[in-house]
């Protein structure tokens, strides 16, 4: 059995590391452990699956990029049943500055009423962005996004129009982040695309970690509303029922099957994990196994696991 996460032991094992980085990590872990939704339920129910070794692995992974898990720009997230690091656009910027401290970056979304122009001559990028209506713009008014990077060896730029932004959003494994942080995700998309093209050597590890958020190589062209419905299904029985109810009305059958298969794998792995965790915990505490455990819903299993773990 893998060793469960113990914050005190974690701090002891990392005591030789930078104290501020460890404080940031511990603060982030405590937030993941205790944060609750408006209805009072835990916001990050997957926290109980975090192990000591996994946190050490993630900490060292960020450190190898000369970054650290600060709970703001680099966080621990569960995407599709996989616990891994997530980077915002500030983390991408900071990574570039560790290699090219002289780098100058500029990026922003462009709204429909803005004046924007960009050109490149003799290797130099020239651009102008005038925001004409800065206090009354909405997400629907975004028509594009840009990113410019200037280092000693050259200038680089990327632009994405609204159609490209919407396509990237469709390829995301979840729409929640896009819905809550649309402008930030537009900017991150532009930065991620420019560094993948021009600075792949220094972003390879970050992109490997972060490709679950915007998977450029595995597009799923399916109506976002349908994706959200599937992502909210909590058990295999309901997933099968949903398939039979919707299959004849969905135009893109391949994408429909793909996203259903992804959700099926997530549910199966989640159920296998909680079953194994529960069995191991009961054996360690020398308790009698609940004969009806397999009949319980995932939430009921998780609640029972957390109750026994806290005793």
Q: Where are the alpha helices (DSSP H) in the chain?
A: 7-13, 19-34, 52-64, 89-99, 162-171, 176-180, 182-198, 200-210, 224-231, 236-246, 253-285, 298-310
Q: What is the pLDDT of residue 112?
A: 95
Question: What confidence score (pLDDT) does residue 167 get?
Answer: 86
Domain that holds residue 251: 224-310
* Same domain, residue pair 112 and 191: yes
In a domain? residue 2: no
What whole-number distance in Å separates Cα of residue 8 and Cα of residue 12?
Answer: 6
Domain C-terminal end among 57, 87, 117? 87
Last residue of a domain, one of 201, 236, 255: 201
- Same-domain check for residues 150 and 183: yes
According to the model, what pLDDT value does residue 81 have? 65
Is the domain of 249 the same as that of 305?
yes
207: exposed, middle or buried (Cβ count in 10 Å: 0-12, 13-18, 19+): middle
Asked whether residue 247 falls in the same domain as residue 296, the answer is yes
> Is residue 130 within 8 Å of 117, Cβ to Cβ?
no
Residue 130 and residue 72 in one domain: no
The C-alpha atoms of residue 177 and residue 22 are separated, in whole angstroms, by 26
Cα dihedral sign for 67, 68, 69, 71?
A: negative
pLDDT value of position 226:
73
Q: CA angle at residue 72 from 234 to 183, to 5 degrees?
A: 75
Structure tokens at 100: 């090219």
User: Is 96 inside a domain boundary?
Assistant: no
118 lies in some domain: yes
Is residue 216 in some structural domain? no
Q: Does the residue 174 lie in any domain?
A: yes
Predicted local confidence at residue 246, as pLDDT: 85
Q: What is the model's pTM?
A: 0.67
φ, ψ (nearest 5 deg) of residue 42: -65, 135
**83 and 120 assigned to the same domain:** no
42 pairs with which residues across the strands?
Answer: 36
pLDDT value for 257: 84
Residue 213 domain-assigned?
Answer: no
153/234 same-domain check: no
Number of domains into which the chain is organized: 3
92 lies in some domain: no
Shared domain check, 240 and 156: no
Considering the domain architecture, whether residues 186 and 277 belong to the same structural domain is answered as no
Could you tell me if 300 and 254 lie in one domain?
A: yes
Please tell me whether residues 176 and 249 are part of one structural domain. Answer: no
Q: Which of 143, 169, 201 is the last residue of a domain?
A: 201
pLDDT profile of the chain (311 residues), mean per 10: 78 92 95 89 85 93 94 87 86 94 96 96 95 91 97 95 90 76 93 90 82 42 66 87 85 77 86 90 89 88 88 79
Q: Mark whether 175 and 249 lie in a shared domain.
A: no
* Coil vs helix vs strand at 201: helix
The verdict on residue 45 lying in a domain is: yes
């Amino acid at each position: 059995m893998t060793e469960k996460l113990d914050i005190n032991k974690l701090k002891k094992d990392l005591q030789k590391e930078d104290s501020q980085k460890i404080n940031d990590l511990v603060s982030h872990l405590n937030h993941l452990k205790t944060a609750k939704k408006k209805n009072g339920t835990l916001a990050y129910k997957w926290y109980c699956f975090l192990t000591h070794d996994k946190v050490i692995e993630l900490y060292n992974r960020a450190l190898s990029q000369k970054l650290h898990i600060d709970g703001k720009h680099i966080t621990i997230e569960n995407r599709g049943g996989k616990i891994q690091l997530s980077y915002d656009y500030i983390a991408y910027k900071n990574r570039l500055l560790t290699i090219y401290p002289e780098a100058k970056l500029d990026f922003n979304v462009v709204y429909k009423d803005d004046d924007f122009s960009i050109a490149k001559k003799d290797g130099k990028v020239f651009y102008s962005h005038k925001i004409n209506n800065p206090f009354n713009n909405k997400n629907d008014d975004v028509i594009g996004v840009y990113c410019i990077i200037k280092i000693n060896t050259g200038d680089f730029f990327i632009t994405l129009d609204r159609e490209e932004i919407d396509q990237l959003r469709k390829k995301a494994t979840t729409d929640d982040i896009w819905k809550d942080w649309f402008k930030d995700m537009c900017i991150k998309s532009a930065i991620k695309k420019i560094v993948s093209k021009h600075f792949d050597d220094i972003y390879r590890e970050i992109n490997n970690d972060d490709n679950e958020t915007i998977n450029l190589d595995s597009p799923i062209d399916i109506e976002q509303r349908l994706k959200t419905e599937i992502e909210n299904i909590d058990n295999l029985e309901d997933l099968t029922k949903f398939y039979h109810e919707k299959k004849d009305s969905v135009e893109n059958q391949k994408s429909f099957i793909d996203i259903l298969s992804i959700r099926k794998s997530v549910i199966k792995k989640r159920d296998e994990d909680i079953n194994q965790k529960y069995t191991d915990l009961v054996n360690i505490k020398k308790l009698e196994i609940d004969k009806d455990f397999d009949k319980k819903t995932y939430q009921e299993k998780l609640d029972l696991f957390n109750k026994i773990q806290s005793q």
